[in-house]
Amino acid sequence: MNSKIVEDIKQQTTGMAPSSALAWLADAFPGEIVFSTSFGWEDQVITHMIFSNNLPIKVFTLETGRLFPETYYVWNRTMEIYGQPIYAYYPQNEALEAMVNAKGPSSFYESVENRKECCGIRKIEPLKRALKGNKIWITGIRAEQSPNRQDMVNVEWDEGNQLVKYHPVFEWSLDEVKTYIKNNNIPYNTLHDRGFPSIGCQPCTRAVQPGEDFRAGRWWWEDQSKKECGLHSVKEIITEK
């Protein structure tokens, strides 16, 4: 059944422009489709497609409490320009307080396990709440963003969350994303202009140096192969509670 849903969506959306595919999905799954934004380049493109076309797709973000000031600015600016709500999901107070009280505010630097615990509390659990009851999860993933993501496809079944994930700009290049932003005068995070191609929590993100991988600035103190928080890794989504 799950594979049939994925194949049906693939057949219906193949060849469609991203905005047209989003409109079709919103019509096919009314009230059961959401888009998660972290206000990066790709997410701003998709937000523009949703808001400028008044598509009935709920836009939400994970408010980890550790975001950059520039991220909060583009969040607020986006709401001002489009006049549409962006729903925030916060970590559960009790879990966050227990972790910080036991290990301090920067335990994620000490081990991969601690970092995954922090991501689990600040991102994974709020994400599960945001996705609950929905059938389609829209994301800003592009294939070239990291080696882990090149094995993905633009429509896939997320076993951990029991829904379909659709990536509208999956095959776009970064230049295509930038051109779309420029041509449509879309607000974007100015950290991108300062060497931050991938932007997450402030303590866990640095600028990328010339010649480094796209995601080298994320959790830079860890081994390159571990640089996913679990939001888009099925194995981690299933196992992290």
The structure tokens 């929590």 sit at 201
229 has catalytic annotation: yes
118, 119, 204, 229: the active-site residue: 229
- Sheet strands (E) in 9-149: 33-36, 58-62, 87-89, 136-138
Among left, alpha and beta (phi > 0; psi -120 to 50; other), residue 136 is beta
Q: How far is CA 81 from CA 62, 78, 186, in A?
A: 21, 5, 9
Please name which of 205, 195, 202, 194 lies closest in space to residue 227, comparing C-alpha atoms: 205
**CA-wise closest residue to 172 among 142, 201, 214:** 142
CB 50 within 8 A of CB 35: yes
What is the C-alpha to C-alpha distance for residues 188 and 39, in angstroms, rounded to an integer?
A: 7
Query: What are the residues facing 60 on neighbouring strands?
Result: 36, 87
- Residues recognised as catalytic: 229
